[in-house]
Amino acid sequence: MSKKKQPKDNNTDGKKKMSPRLKQATAMLSASCVLLVVAAVALSGLGFFHMIGGWFIPRGEVKVGVISEKNQIESLGDKQIVYRVNSDVVFEHTYAQGTIMLENPKVSKYDLQFSLYLPNNRVDPIYESPMLSPGECILSDKLTDTMRVKKGDYTCVCIVKAYDAQGNYCGQNTCTIIVTILDN
């Protein structure tokens, strides 16, 4: 019987030595963890996680009724367009529902659609409401175009278009609404 010779361990300090492959795997794992943390911080700063969450936040719901019975208009002329809006809309972040608060009063003779535009762009709205019939309101909703707005305050033009019962365009009115986005 021949005995195989065992290699001598020259380790004099009593600690086990890591193999080169284990050292390489440890270094790669550490670098990957650092890269993952840096990527998560960068994506968070860009609002990536709010965007993903925004996919699951529903649009606002049109409600029958008015925001408040206080100061309701009792009557108006045939060709008048009347509405109520929140002039200072706040969004927690770009993809969240904000305090839109739009109302088509009960006495209105028209269906109304509200659109918000950035100051120098009346072509591409950042928000379009559903059509509101007389006596309907929407209390909160999310932006329909989130690509052009980030954290900050925007003085937006709100164009309110009126349609008769057959869906024919009857006219429009405008007002100014401040849109505030608190975070990306």
Q: Residue 121 domain-assigned?
A: yes
pLDDT digits (tens, 9 = 90+) for 151-160: 899 999 999 9
- Give residue 179's pLDDT: 94
User: CATH code at 117?
Assistant: 2.60.40.2550
Cβ–Cβ < 8 Å for 80, 170 = no
Q: How far apart are CA 165 and CA 63, in angstroms?
A: 19
Domain count, the chain: 2
Residues 152 and 68 in one domain: yes
173 shares a domain with 102: yes
What CA–CA distance (Å, rounded) separates 111 from 132?
Answer: 6
Range of the domain at 111: 57-181
Query: Are 66 and 150 members of one domain?
Result: yes
85 and 129, same domain (yes or no): yes
120 in a structural domain: yes
Looking at the predicted structure, is the pLDDT value of residue 12 above 60? no
148 and 175, same domain (yes or no): yes
Instruction: Answer whether residue 15 is part of any domain.
Output: no
User: Quick one: CA torsion of 140, 155, 125, 175, rounded to 10 degrees?
Assistant: 80
What percent of the chain shows pLDDT beyond 90? 37
pLDDT score at 152: 92
3-class DSSP state for residue 37? helix
More confident residue, 46 or 114: 114
